[in-house]
Amino acid sequence: MMESFRIMELSKGPRVRFSPFYERSVEAGIRVATVYNRTVLPVSTDDPKADYEALTERVAIWDVGCQRQVQVHGPDALKLCRYMSARDLSQLKVGVAKYAPLCDHEGRLINDPVVLRVDEETIWFSISDSDILLWARAIAGEGNFDVEITEPDVSPLAVQGPMAAALIAQVFGDWTRELKFFHFRRITHEGIPIVICRSGWSKQGGFELFLEDSAKGADLWDLIWNAGKNFGIRPGGPNNVERMENFLFSWGSDADLECDPFQCAIGQYVDLGVEHDFIGKEALIAKRVEGPTRELKGLLIDGEPLEANPAPVGLQNPNGTYAGETRIICYSHKFQRNLGLGVIEVPNNLPGTKLKVETKDGWRPATVADLPFDL
């Protein structure tokens, strides 16, 4: 069980938001939560191993209403989004999504949203945990883009796991089986407006249901939950063990604010060859030429299973000199060993390099590995 606090009650004020699925999540057994985009994000039940098994063997339902949408609407919507993104969005079609790094002018990664083209003049940035509403408004204002930027009433609910496709087909119809990865359709089902997208923060396959009316949160949850009983559905949250085993990047967790997308191991989503300008382009080209001074790598940590620790701890050479920072640690059920992600100083980042990682019971030997782990 991950370290957590049990403290006072959270007040239902404007500073911490609750998603439309929050109450159902708690009723279904969620006991640990964090905060993401100023919204409570359910993390796990009181049995994280069972959460992992449901995700990897059956189907899991997650309240990811904290994945807020920044809506860019207007004649210049695509032009602005293309200027904000280090991945080329020029060809983004209606009904298609793309994972896109956003950088600042120095090439630092400031967010890594899923970008959905909802219609010709409407694009959603489904953001990670930093304020892109303010950023987008500043960029649009400075550049005189003809757009309106808002946070619409949209809350994603994730359905992930090997049985997710069968469950979603049972609820919404067989057409959902034909949806390709990162493609979506906007529908109204039993009076509930949703965007159904084949996506989600796991490599188990699944869907995200972007609810477009927060008054219908319990209705949508119940539809999936009731149909899911036959599939052994279980509540959970974005799962750090599964996503570390298969490597999906977590902004705000896996790297600090100075890292660029190459250092974060998501450089394959950066398009430097485009003709148009985008924020950070010049800096990223220079960084590409110079090469990184440190980068995110996997760590195989020796010894008995470690308690999950999603917080930065030490990383050293065997002789005790600084080698970088361990960003997150977990015990992998699949590989039956401890895994870590670390931002590691060159040249200690070479696969096979022996290092040591700080844990509660002292320093443990560890070996650097490429991402995704190939074990």
CA 348, 350, 354, 358 torsion: positive or negative?
Answer: positive
Q: Of residues 152-171, which lie at the interface with ligand THG (CB under 6 A)?
A: 156
**Beta carbon nearer to ligand THG, 243 or 364:** 243
**Options 15-23, 120-128, 303-311, 363-371: segment touching ligand THG (CB under 6 A):** 120-128
**Beta carbon nearer to ligand THG, 208 or 325:** 208
Sequence-distant (≥ 6) Cβ neighbours of residue 356 within 8 angstroms:
315, 316, 317, 318, 363, 364, 365, 366
**Beta carbon nearer to ligand THG, 36 or 231:** 36
**Options 110-118, 293-301, 339-347, 355-363: segment touching ligand THG (CB under 6 A):** 110-118
Site string for ligand THG, 180-199 (x = CB under 6 A): --x----------------x
Letter string b/e over residues 83-105, b meaning 16 or more CB atoms within 10 A of that residue's CB: bbbbbbbeebeebebbbbbbbee
**Options 49-57, 123-131, 293-301, 340-348: segment touching ligand THG (CB under 6 A):** 123-131
Q: Measuring CA to CA, which residue among 201, 74, 202 is closest to residue 127?
A: 201
d(CA 269, CA 277): 16
201 near ligand THG, judged by CB under 6 A: yes
Site string for ligand THG, 204-223 (x = CB under 6 A): ----x---------------
114 near ligand THG, judged by CB under 6 A: yes
Site string for ligand THG, 259-298 (x = CB under 6 A): ----------------------------------------
CA 113, 179, 188, 206 torsion: positive or negative?
Answer: negative
107 near ligand THG, judged by CB under 6 A: no
In the numeric block, which tokens belong to residue 6?
């049990």
Task: Using CB under 6 A, pick the residue from 200, 237, 261, 340 that binds ligand THG.
Answer: 200
**Beta carbon nearer to ligand THG, 199 or 309:** 199
**Options 21-29, 55-63, 122-130, 328-336: segment touching ligand THG (CB under 6 A):** 122-130
DSSP 254: S
Across the beta sheet with 234-236, the strand order is 184-189, 192-197, 206-211, 155-160, 60-63, 234-236
The end-to-end CA distance of the chain, in Å, is 25
Q: Of residues 306-335, which lie at the interface with ligand THG (CB under 6 A)?
A: none
Taking residue 215's Cβ as centre, other Cβ atoms within 10 Å add up to 10
3-class DSSP assignment, residue 140: helix
**Options 108-116, 223-231, 276-284, 344-352: segment touching ligand THG (CB under 6 A):** 108-116
Identity (one letter) of the amino acid at 218? A
113 near ligand THG, judged by CB under 6 A: yes
3-class DSSP assignment, residue 108: coil
d(CA 148, CA 136): 10
Q: State the minimum distance, in angstroms, from the CB of residue 280 to ligand THG.
A: 18
Q: Of residues 13-72, which lie at the interface with ligand THG (CB under 6 A)?
A: 67
**Beta carbon nearer to ligand THG, 25 or 199:** 199
d(CA 82, CA 89): 5
Q: State the minimum distance, in angstroms, from the CB of residue 8 to ligand THG.
A: 28
Number of chain residues interacting with ligand THG (CB under 6 A): 17
d(CA 128, CA 220): 23
- Run of H or E including 41: strand 39-44
**Options 14-22, 126-134, 160-168, 310-318: segment touching ligand THG (CB under 6 A):** 126-134
Question: Which residues sit at the interface with ligand THG, rule CB under 6 A?
Answer: 67, 98-99, 112-114, 126-128, 156, 182, 199-201, 208, 248-249
